[in-house]
Chain A
Amino acid sequence: MSEAPTLLPYGDRAVLVELGSTERALAWVDALEADRPAGVADVVPAAETVLVVLTADAPADRVREVLRAVRPGAARPRRPSPAAVEIPVVYDGPDLAEVATRTGLDEAAVVAAHAGSTWRVAFGGFAPGFGYLVGGDPRLHVPRRDRSRTSVPAGAVGLAGEFSGVYPRASPGGWQLIGRTEVRLWDLDRDPPALLGRGVEVRFVAVGP
């Protein structure tokens, strides 16, 4: 039995549910979405919290009670887990040497650790199609770069904190870049447009340039 989450106020239309870890937050959203209660208008998963937006007419006290009673693992997911996505990566990123230094691994070991773990999409944000990936090799935890780059190309594969991620389009960015992929993370002509939906498992595969 896990304890009830902490509910923090978020205006008069939302509640911030504090779970304390990415794993717990992921499991809690799984449980919530398996049987989404009435009165819930939108759900915004994030690192260690989940923002739950209520409908205008929802009885807030009652919904809060229901949210406190959501227990990860108690409900079976309504849908089977989506198939794992394989992302081929050329590991020649400009920060690969820096990551090797910071982790105490050599570059080949960084690549082996990144490609050797199964990651999972915990939440989105930053840009359409960007998935914050968790569950990788803990030796790869590195801080963001001291200085952000003004432009990171689409397909760049990066690390920051406990997360890995792939830039869906060219944008400024502060993650440590270890490789690149040709795979399109975001494509409006595809249904769904995001390759990495919440909960999807991701495996990186090292390929030659």
Chain B
Amino acid sequence: MSLLRVLRTGPLTLVEDLGRPGHAAIGVGRSGAADRGALRLANRAVGNPEGAAALEVLLGGLELEVVGGPVTLCVSGAPVPVRVGERDVGSSYVARARAGEVVRLGVAPRGLRSYVAVRGGIDVPAVLGSRSRDVLAGLGPEPLAVGDELPVGDPAGEPPVADLLVPPRLPEVVGLRVVRGPRDDWLVDADALTSTAWTVSDESDRVGIRLLGAPLAHRDADRQLPSEGAWRGAVQVSPSGAPVVFLADHPVTGGYPVAAVVVDADVDLVAQARPGQALRFGWVKGR
């Protein structure tokens, strides 16, 4: 059996799969990879089921030593330099690493989160059916620490057939399509959401990204909203008027109005939005 020994973690590396749906009533959110598409892609590339557990690496900087036997791996999401032993293999490439070799991720020049999928998956114990770390609920595997040894599971699917993925498109300005509502009428002018040039704040994490720009005025600042269910992509407007776009580890229920919701296909872009980056919303109709 192969293991991955953690030599460096970078700013934050978490184990993530596609999350734990169905537990909202007991206060447990879905969680899972922030960029679900990138996780699926890396897993497919190494011949795993799409939802296998992989490593979500914030900004790069991860170093892993392969222990026991060879592994097949692929890095997706934010493109980073990737070295296996003395070889530069890069992102979006299916590489093999032998026992004793070190896999090194450099710093991501664009985007925020890279995914390291290993054939067989990261085989740590599941909590409520998922190996995802939920940073808000404090559930699932702890963030990686130097010295951790991560077991690699047995390969489940067909061996990989392609060795190169199409790299992701990460535009300068994050453009998100949003559907109006459900609480757009709580704002004086919900259209200000789409006319404002927003900047991603550094108060952003897996719970959500906070946006800087002209505050959105509430019609009645003292009006209280009874708690409502929340979901990934919801644009919640806090009492200060700053919008927060919910990401993977958002609260299950929330008490501030959600003025708009990002369409599902665009939510993964939120996971790659860097602090300081420009962000715009555009209205679309729901289905």
A interface vs B, CB < 8 Å? 8-14, 16, 22, 41-51, 53, 56, 60, 123-132, 168, 188, 192-194, 196-198
Complex contact A11–B24 (CB within 8 A): no
Complex contact B264–A11 (CB within 8 A): yes
Complex contact B229–A11 (CB within 8 A): no
Q: Is the interface of A mostly helix, strand, loop or mixed?
A: strand
Closest to B26 in A: A194
Known: A11-B231, A44-B230, A47-B226. A125 touches B261 (CB 8 A): no
Q: Inside 8 A of A46's CB, which chain B residues have their CB?
A: 226-229, 253
Known: A11-B286, A129-B26, A188-B127. A124 touches B228 (CB 8 A): no
Complex contact B24–A44 (CB within 8 A): yes
Bitwise, B210-227 to A at CB < 8 A (1) or not (0) is 000000000000000011
Complex contact B24–A193 (CB within 8 A): no
Bitwise, B2-45 to A at CB < 8 A (1) or not (0) is 00000000000000000001101111101000000000000000
Task: Give the interface size class of chain B.
Answer: 35 or more
**Which listed residue, A13, A49, A130, touches B229 by the CB 8 Å rule?**
A49
Q: Inside 8 A of A60's CB, which chain B residues have their CB?
A: 286-287
Complex contact A128–B21 (CB within 8 A): no
Complex contact A192–B181 (CB within 8 A): no
Complex contact B137–A127 (CB within 8 A): yes
Complex contact B231–A14 (CB within 8 A): yes
Q: Inside 8 A of A132's CB, which chain B residues have their CB?
A: 227
B53 at the interface (CB under 8 A from A): no
B263 at the interface (CB under 8 A from A): yes
Complex contact B253–A126 (CB within 8 A): yes
Complex contact A125–B251 (CB within 8 A): yes
Complex contact B228–A126 (CB within 8 A): no
Most buried by A among B22, B26, B227, B284: B26
Q: Inside 8 A of A41's CB, which chain B residues have their CB?
A: 21
Give chain B interface residues in 135-192, CB to chain A under 8 Å. 137-139, 178-182
